[in-house]
Amino acid sequence: MAEEKQVSSSFTSMAGAASDADAPEIGIGMIGYAFMGKAHSNAFKKIPYMMYPPVAIPRLAAIAGRNEAAVTAAAQRYGYERAYTDWRDLIADDGVQLLDNGGPNDAHAEPCIAAAAAGKHVFCEKPLARTAEEAKSMLDAVQSAGVKHMVAFNYRFVPAIQQAKKLIESGKLGRIYHWRAVYLQEWGMDPEMETSWRFNKAVAGSGALGDLGAHIIDLARFLVGEPKAVAGLAQTWLTERPDGSGGMAKSDVDDGFVALLDFDNGALGTVEATRFAQGRKNFNSFEINAENGSIHFNLERLNELNVFWKGENPDTTQGFHNVLVSEAHHPYWENWWPHGHIIGWEHSFVHEFHHFFNAIVNDADVAPYGATFVDGYRNAVICDAILQSAASKKHVDIRY
Ligand code: SOE
């Protein structure tokens, strides 16, 4: 019976499930069991009873990771049926219809390309790849395989950010003049902290740029438009870090960067990300200044959207208004609680996977609200161009 319900790579179009008993299963193969393995597994387990009636039931078929003890423990903790230390076994597992790649950046390309070739749908954490060239090879693979593909730019699925998108799409904001975004964290500043893969260019591709900058570059494309040129600066303040066995390891990625975005629609943008902003924990914040008003968002207050509207009474109502995005009609809120009972960072992953499952089960488009491998590739082109500009001290045109 279970087999009949599993969704293969060919699409089973459904009008949407009447109840979870009708919803088809999608077998999940998860690579990685650390931070994103935890965030994604949490989302898979919540979807059947919170995005109700579910469009699909994620079946936790398999999880893969290099350390046998750790991946076995993760399988037990989250409820994956099988644990592998070789991702190739996961790809070969017939119970897997969807590869979810939450591994380090150097482990994105090969498994995603192999999964697509095996007819599996592919979901990959950001950044899609270490370079634009590597990202393009992944895009080509999923397009020629005809599978659904998505990149985990999860902030597109924060209700307040989708509300900002709707205000822009409605025309209410009018022409956009400025995009101004920062993604600030502090955790990279301790010279005594043991290094990680995120500081090794060969594994990560870049530092704050691909890890944090990729998010605000994606939001710039999602909310404002396409940059036609960039100019950037980048710095590595700690060039070596403790390797955990008494020695020091080279750190050859950007600790922080700043960049200018010259949008093809005439808007001007600035983006800045760092792991050296003392006091900032996960401060992803942007402001849009437009013809009819301005919008400001802060991830650390993610249920709120601050909006300013031109023409309000200067004595009674002008000024930025703090809109609590939690009404039943607000994006995704029909699934949660009465207004004001706020949600959190983890819920962006619940919404994101619900969106992907719907695309798979009902053959719907992932774009434009979800990020596909096209978005992952274009993001990589822009990140490469920022590093190229930082090296050449020249503006760099963006060509996809
Ligand atoms: C880095 O610490 C990090 O975990 C990023 O990798 C995530 O994408 C971001 O959402 C939170 O910070």
DSSP 103-140: S-GGGSHHHHHHHHHTT-EEEEPSSS-SSHHHHHHHHH
User: What integer pLDDT is reported at residue 220 of this predicted model?
Assistant: 99
- Examine the domain organization and report whether 308 and 200 are in the same domain: yes
- DSSP 8-state symbol, 372: -
Residues 6+ apart with CB under 8 A from 23: 5, 17, 48, 53, 54, 55, 56, 57, 361
CA 210 to centroid of ligand 1, rounded, Å: 10
Mark whether 93 and 172 lie in a shared domain: no
Residue 2 lies in a domain: no
Query: Which atom of ligand 1 is nearest the CA belonging to 125?
Result: 8
Q: Are 230 and 395 in contact (CB under 8 A)?
A: yes
Residue 308 located in a structural domain: yes
Distance separating alpha carbons of residues 199 and 241, to the nearest angstrom: 9
281-313 pLDDT tens trace: 999 999 999 999 999 999 999 999 999 999 999
CATH number of the domain enclosing 249: 3.30.360.10
The CATH number of the domain holding residue 35 is: 3.40.50.720
Q: Which atom of ligand 1 is nearest to 155's Cα?
A: 10
Per-residue pLDDT, 22: 83
| Domains: count for the chain | 2
CA nearest ligand 1 atom 10, residue: 212
> Which of 94, 128, 153 is a domain's end point?
153
Q: How far apart are CA 56 and CA 183, in angstroms?
A: 33
**127 conformational bin, left if phi > 0, alpha if psi -120 to 50, beta if neither:** beta
- Whether residues 19 and 69 share a domain: the answer is yes
Indicate the pTM of the whole model: 0.95
pLDDT score of 2: 44
For residue 262, the cross-strand partners are: 229, 268
Question: How far is residue 384 from each of residues 23, 29, 113, 138, 389, measured CA to CA in Å?
Answer: 42, 30, 21, 16, 9
Out of 209, 282, 299, mutate this one to test ligand 1's pocket (max ligand atoms within 8 Å of CB): namely: 282
243 Rama sector, left if φ>0, alpha if ψ -120 to 50, beta otherwise: alpha
CA of 121 to the centre of ligand 1 (A): 24
Contacts of 126 (CB under 8 A, 6+ apart): 151, 152, 153, 210, 214, 215, 218, 371, 376, 379
Q: Are residues 269 and 325 in the same domain?
A: yes
Q: Is the same domain home to 369 and 232? A: yes
**Which segments in the chain show pLDDT lower than 70?**
1-20
* Residue 319 sits in the same domain as residue 336: yes
How far apart are alpha carbons 376 and 142 in whole angstroms? 12
Last residue of a domain, one of 153, 172, 199: 153
In this structure, are 146 and 225 located in the same domain? no
Shared-domain flag, residues 178 and 52: no
Question: What whole-number distance in Å separates Cα of residue 216 and Cα of residue 223?
Answer: 10
Q: Are residues 147 and 179 in the same domain?
A: no
Query: Cβ < 6 Å from ligand 1: which residues?
Result: 35, 185, 211, 282
Same domain as 224, residue 119: no
Question: What whole-number distance in Å separates Cα of residue 220 and Cα of residue 286?
Answer: 9
Domain coverage including residue 127: 9-153
For ligand 1, atom 11: residue with the closest CA:
282
Query: Of the residues 125, 198, 211, 348, which should be mutated to test ligand 1's pocket, given the most ligand atoms within 8 Å of the CB?
Result: 211
Tokens of 40: 């994604």
Distance 170 CA to ligand 1 centre (A): 31
292 Cα: distance to centroid of ligand 1 (angstroms): 33
Shortest-distance Cα residue to atom 1 of ligand 1: 211
Q: Domain for residue 327, yes or no?
A: yes
List pLDDT tens digits, range 234-278: 999 999 999 999 999 999 999 999 999 999 999 999 999 999 999
Query: Rounded to an integer, what distance in angstroms lies between the CA atom of residue 231 and that of residue 214?
Result: 15
Residue that finishes a domain, picked among 95, 130, 153 = 153
